[in-house]
Amino acid sequence: MRLQHNQDDWARPANLHITTPELDWQQLCQQASYSCGALNTRFVFFAGVSTTPQIIPEAKLTRPDSWTLADYQQIWRQASFYQALAAPNSTLKNYMAIPIARAKVQGLLVLHFAASAPKLSQTQYLLLNTLATYAALLYQEQTAPQLLKVDTAAANKHRKEQSSRRLFKRLKKLFNDVPIPINAFDEHQRCIFWNQACEQVLGWSKTEIKQHPAPLQLFYPDEQEQQQLKAAFNGECNSEFKEWQLRHRNGQLLTMLWAHIKLPNGDTLCVGHDMSVQHEIAHLQRLATNVFESSYDGIMVTDADHCITHINPAFTRITGYQLDEVKGRYPDLLKYLPADRKLYLELVAHFKSHDFWQGELTGLRKNGESYSLLLAVTAVKSDAGQVLSHVSIFTDITYLKQHEAQLRHQAFHDALTGVPNRLLFGELLERAIASAERDKGRLAVCYLDLDGFKAVNDKLGHAAGDQLLIEVSRRLGSITRSCDAMSRLGGDEFALLFTGLHSIEEGEEILKRVHNIINQTTYIEGEQVKVSASIGVALYPEDADEAELLLRYADQAMYEAKKQGKNGYVFFDESQTYEQHSHAQQLALISQGLARGELCLYYLPAIDLHTQRVVRLEALLRWQHPQQGLRTPSDFLPIVMGSALELELGVWVIEEVLKQIEIWQQQGLTLKVSFNVSAGQLLDDNFTPKLAHLLSAYPASFASQLELEFQESAIQADINAAVDALQRCRDLGISMSIDNFGTGYSSLSHLNQLPIDTIKIDRSFINDLLSNAHDLSMVTSVIQLAAALKLNVMAEGVEEAAQGVRLLQLGCTQVQGFGISQPMPAAHVPAWLKSWNYKLQ
C-alpha cells in the first residue's frame, strides 16, 4: 500500500531509540533505498516497529492494504515506536509508507522524498513489501527471548537456534514466492538458496546451480565483474544495487540491477531486478525522440483538450511557428482556409467516436502564405480508453499539388499551343451534346487541316512551323465564344465546336470567318507565310448523336474538302462515298501484316544500377514491313486505336510474351517481362478473363514474371473500372507499372487507389535532366512521391552514364534506355545477358 503526505501531517515521535542490536535497521533501510536506486532520486528512510498490542485491530493485521491514514498516524505517534535513522531535514516534503504487520509486530517502513515522489515499478513495490515483512520477522524472532524473560544462557542459546531455524524456514518460503530474483551463497561461494524467480529470469534450475562446483561462473561471464563479485562476497564494498551483465542459460546476456548483501554469518544474500525491459524502453524512447526531431514531416502533439503541447523542427520549417508561439493554443491558429473550415470541424467531431483521421487541408503559414498539407491525426489513449493526447503528422504537399495541377493541364492541353487537346475536346463535346439534347439545340463539329503547312516546314524548318501553329491557334481562339471549343488534335489538324446554332446558314457564316482569319498573311522570321484550311463539318443531331461519330464524320468530310481543291469546307453527307486515305485501308494493311507474321516483339532491358542486375525486359511491338523495313509503334499503333484490331493485337502480344518466357525458361533463364496495354484493352470486359485463360496454359509461376504497363491516359475515361480491372490482374499474380509518368494526369488520390508497383518516369524529363532545372525538379518530385507511396521508380530514356549517376544520387536505381541497350530480338537476349557489363563513370 502506498500513501503520500506533506511533512506536517505527522508529528515527530517523542521517544526515539534503538533496541535489539541484532536487528541491523540501518542496513535494512539502506537495502530498501537501493531497491529504488535506479530512479535516480535521493531518499531518507524511517523504519520502526511497535510491540504495543491492539494498536491496529486484529482483523487488519493480515490486510495492510486496507489500512487508512488514521491507522498509520496511530502507529506513528506511539511512544514505543523505534526509529533507525535520524529525522529528515526540513527540505523533505513527501512520504511513502510501507506497512509492517506480523503477529504482535506493527509498524511502518517510511520513505521520505526531497522532491515529488517518483513512480515506482511493481517490482520495486514487491521488494519493499518483502523487506518490510523481513523486518517484522527479524524483530519478532530477535525480541522473543526478551518478551518471555528467560535469562539462562543455555535456554537462550537453545531458543536462538530454534528461532534461527524457524526464521530461515519462514524466510525461505517468503523469498521463494516473491517474483524477484533472490539467491544466497555461503562463504565458499556454494549456492544455498535459489528461488523460482531466479530460475525464470536466468534459466538455471536450482539443482543445476547447487550441483555445480563454481556456479557463479555460469552467469557472471565477465572477468572484471567476477573480481567485483569476489570483493562483494568478502564484504569489501557497499551492498548497493548496480548494473551487472548476467548470462542466461541460453547464452543471452541480461542487464540486471543486482545487490550482494553480506550477512553476519558470512553468507551473501543476492537480490536482483531484470533491467532488460527498462533498457529496451529507454532505447525505444531515444529512437522515438530521434524520429520526432529528425522527421521530414511536421509533427504536432495536442492534449485531450486539443491544446498544442509539442512540435518538432519540421513543424517550424513548414509553418514558420516556434514552440513558444503555439504551445497551449488550439491548432486553428494555423488558420485553415474557409474552404476547409467545415472539413476541420468534421475532423474534431470525428474524434468523439474514432481514433484516427486522414485527409487534405489548406492552411496559412505564419507569413500569410497558403499551403496544402496531407494530415493524419491519431488519438493516444490510456489503458482505460481515456484520450490522453492527439498526434498529428502532416506533409507539405504544396509542390505536389502544383505539380498535380500542372500535370492536369498537360494531360488536357496541347504542349505547343496550350489549347485543349483531343482528350479534353472529347469531354467538352460530350457535355455540349448532353446540353443540346436537353435544350433541343444544334451544334457543329469542324475538323480542320492546314493546306500548305508541310511546305512551310520544309522551307523554314520545324521551329517556324511551330510558330505558325501557335499563331493559327491564337486566331481560332479569337473567334470562338465561351460556349464554343477549339482543340489541336495533332500535327496541323484542329477541331472546332460551335454550339447554339439556329440554322445551317449561321454555321456557314462562322466557317467563312474561320477561312478569312486563317488566310491572313503571317510573318515568321521575316518571311511572309500564307496557308489555308480544308474543313469538314458534321452536325448534331442531323448526322450523329455521339461524340466519336461526329468527329469521325467531320474527319471524312475534311478529306472530301481536300479532294475538291482545298481551302474550302464540306458538310458531311452520308449518301456520298468518300475516299478513305487513312483508317480503313491502313487498318487492313496492319491486319494483313499480323496474319502474315510480319509483326514481332523486340525486348528492351531494364537494370538496377546498384546491383547491375537485369530486373526486367520490356516487350516492344515492331512491324517488319516488306517494303518499308522495320517500323516502330508510333507509325501504326495510332491507326489501330479504337478499332477491333486494338484488342486482337493486344491479345497477340500477351501470347507472344508467354511463349517467349517459356523458351527462355527452357534455356535456364528466368526473366520478368513487361508489356503495354491500351485504354481500350484495359476497359474491355473480356480483357482479364482472356488474360486468365492464357495464363492457365502455363505454370503458375509465369504470372509473377509478367508486369502490365499502362499509361496515365488509360485510366481517365473510367477510373473506377480501370482500378477494378487492374486489381483483377493483380489477383492473378501480375505486377503493375504506370508508364510515361508525368506526361499525363494522375491525381494523388487516384494514384493512391491504383494497385501499382512501379512508376516509370517519362524520357522527356530525363533528356535534359543534367541541364534543365525544371526537369530535375520534376524528376525529384516523382522520386519523392514514389517513396512516399512505397512504390518502385524507374527512369526511361537513360542514354548517358552521367544521367545514371544523377538518378542514383536522387534515389532512383532502376533505369532503361539506349545507354543500357538498344531493343533487340528475343533470340539475341541470352547472348546479351552473358556479355552484359555496365559501369557508371
| Pairwise CA distance, residues 533 & 557, whole Å | 13
> Mean of the pLDDT values across residues 251-259?
83
| Pairwise CA distance, residues 179 & 271, whole Å | 11
| Pairwise CA distance, residues 345 & 332, whole Å | 10
| Range from 113-117, 134-138, 234-238, 420-424 carrying the lowest mean pLDDT | 113-117
What is the widest separation between alpha-carbon atoms in the chain?
A: 144
644 lies in the same domain as 772:
yes
For 525, half-sphere exposure in the C-beta direction (CA atoms, 13 angstrom radius) is 12
CATH of the domain at 24: 3.30.450
628 lies in the same domain as 558:
no
For residue range 754-785, what is the model confidence (pLDDT) as tens digits? Answer: 889 999 998 888 988 888 888 888 899 889 88
Measure CA of the first residue to CA of the last residue in the chain; give whole Å. Answer: 73
Q: What band does 159 get if pLDDT is binned at 50, 70 and 90?
A: low
pLDDT computed for residue 273 by the predictor: 79
> Mean of the pLDDT values across residues 786-801?
89
pTM of structure:
0.42
Query: DSSP 3-state assignment of 774?
Result: helix
101 lies in the same domain as 66:
yes
| Residue 323 CB neighbour total at 10 angstroms | 14
| Pairwise CA distance, residues 29 & 82, whole Å | 13
CATH of the domain at 449: 3.30.70.270
Q: Tell me if 840 is assigned to some domain.
A: no
> Mean of the pLDDT values across residues 590-612?
92
Helices (H), 178-219: 196-202, 206-211, 216-219
| Pairwise CA distance, residues 530 & 453, whole Å | 9
pLDDT computed for residue 825 by the predictor: 96
Percentage, residues of the chain above pLDDT 90: 29
Please determine, for residue 747, whether its predicted confidence score (pLDDT) is greater than 60.
Answer: no
| Pairwise CA distance, residues 386 & 368, whole Å | 36
Place of cell 467516436: 353
Long-range interactions of 516-524: CB distance < 8 A, separation 24+: 517/475, 517/476, 517/478, 517/479, 518/448, 518/450, 518/472, 518/475, 518/476, 519/567, 520/475, 522/468, 522/471, 524/456, 524/460, 524/464, 524/467, 524/468, 524/471
427 lies in the same domain as 543:
yes
pLDDT computed for residue 52 by the predictor: 47
More confident residue, 639 or 39: 639
CB 515 within 8 A of CB 523: no
Structural domain that includes position 242: 179-279
Top-ranked range on mean pLDDT: pick from 59-73, 485-499, 753-767? 485-499
| Pairwise CA distance, residues 545 & 441, whole Å | 12
> Mean of the pLDDT values across residues 18-30?
43
629 lies in the same domain as 700:
yes
Q: Tell me if 803 is assigned to some domain.
A: yes
User: Considering 332, 362, 396, which residue would you say is the last residue of a domain?
Assistant: 396
More confident residue, 77 or 714: 714
Please determine, for residue 83, whether its predicted confidence score (pLDDT) is greater than 70.
Answer: no
| Pairwise CA distance, residues 202 & 208, whole Å | 12
**Is 309 buried (19+), middle (13-18) or exposed (0-12) by CB count in 10 A?**
middle
Q: What band does 340 get if pLDDT is binned at 50, 70 and 90?
A: low
Q: Tell me if 718 is assigned to some domain.
A: yes
Q: Tell me if 698 is assigned to some domain.
A: yes
Residues 6+ apart with CB under 8 A from 357: 347, 350, 351, 375, 376, 377
- What residues form DSSP beta bridges with 527? 524
pLDDT computed for residue 161 by the predictor: 59
For residue range 170-185, what is the model confidence (pLDDT) as tens digits? Answer: 667 777 777 889 888 8
| Residue 359 CB neighbour total at 10 angstroms | 15
CB 185 within 8 A of CB 132: no
Q: Which of 787, 828, 840, 827 is nearest to 810 (CA)?
A: 787
Q: Across all residues in the chain, what is the average pLDDT?
A: 78
| Pairwise CA distance, residues 611 & 260, whole Å | 56
Query: H/E element holding 447?
Result: strand 443-451
More confident residue, 314 or 223: 314
For residue range 196-232, what is the model confidence (pLDDT) as tens digits? Answer: 889 988 898 988 888 888 888 888 877 777 777 888 7
704 lies in the same domain as 681:
yes
User: Considering 246, 279, 312, which residue would you say is the last residue of a domain?
Assistant: 279
CATH of the domain at 355: 3.30.450.20
pLDDT computed for residue 22 by the predictor: 41
Residues 6+ apart with CB under 8 A from 157: none
**Is 38 buried (19+), middle (13-18) or exposed (0-12) by CB count in 10 A?**
middle
Residues 6+ apart with CB under 8 A from 634: none
Q: What band does 262 get if pLDDT is binned at 50, 70 and 90?
A: confident
Top-ranked range on mean pLDDT: pick from 163-177, 366-380, 685-699? 685-699
Query: What is the separation of C-alpha 342 from the centre of its chain, rounded to a whole number of angstroms?
Result: 27
Q: Tell me if 481 is assigned to some domain.
A: yes
DSSP sequence for 512-542: HHHHHHHHS-EEETTEEE--EEEEEEEEETT
Please determine, for residue 153, whether its predicted confidence score (pLDDT) is greater than 60.
Answer: no
- What residues form DSSP beta bridges with 618? 604, 674
Q: Give me the amino acid identity at 56.
A: I
668 lies in the same domain as 629:
yes
106 lies in the same domain as 148:
yes
Q: Tell me if 1 is assigned to some domain.
A: no
pLDDT computed for residue 837 by the predictor: 74
Query: DSSP 3-state assignment of 503?
Result: coil
Helices (H), 541-582: 547-563
> Mean of the pLDDT values across residues 461-471?
90
Please determine, for residue 716, whether its predicted confidence score (pLDDT) is greater than 50.
Answer: yes
> Mean of the pLDDT values across residues 362-387?
86
pLDDT computed for residue 306 by the predictor: 84
Q: What band does 106 get if pLDDT is binned at 50, 70 and 90?
A: low
| Pairwise CA distance, residues 28 & 545, whole Å | 99
| Pairwise CA distance, residues 603 & 675, whole Å | 10
CB 113 within 8 A of CB 73: no
486 lies in the same domain as 512:
yes
More confident residue, 657 or 126: 657
| Residue 39 CB neighbour total at 10 angstroms | 15
Q: Tell me if 687 is assigned to some domain.
A: yes
- What residues form DSSP beta bridges with 112? 44, 95
pLDDT computed for residue 817 by the predictor: 92
| Pairwise CA distance, residues 516 & 532, whole Å | 9
pLDDT computed for residue 227 by the predictor: 79
Please determine, for residue 799, whether its predicted confidence score (pLDDT) is greater than 60.
Answer: yes
User: Considering 581, 610, 627, which residue would you say is the last residue of a domain?
Assistant: 581
For 580, half-sphere exposure in the C-beta direction (CA atoms, 13 angstrom radius) is 13
Specify the pairing of strand 370-381 against strand 387-396: antiparallel
CA quadruple 253, 254, 259, 261: dihedral positive or negative?
negative
Q: Tell me if 405 is assigned to some domain.
A: no
CB 617 within 8 A of CB 794: no
Q: What band does 156 get if pLDDT is binned at 50, 70 and 90?
A: low
CATH of the domain at 798: 3.20.20.450
pLDDT computed for residue 1 by the predictor: 33
Place of cell 532503361: 816
Q: Which of 486, 507, 503 is nearest to 495 (CA)?
A: 486
Overall domain count for the chain: 5
Please tell me what DSSP assigns to residue 115. Answer: S
Please determine, for residue 15, whether its predicted confidence score (pLDDT) is greater than 60.
Answer: no
What are the angstrom distances between the C-alpha of 288 and each of 268, 295, 311, 396? 41, 10, 13, 21
596 lies in the same domain as 711:
yes
84 lies in the same domain as 132:
yes
CB 543 within 8 A of CB 574: yes
314 lies in the same domain as 229:
no
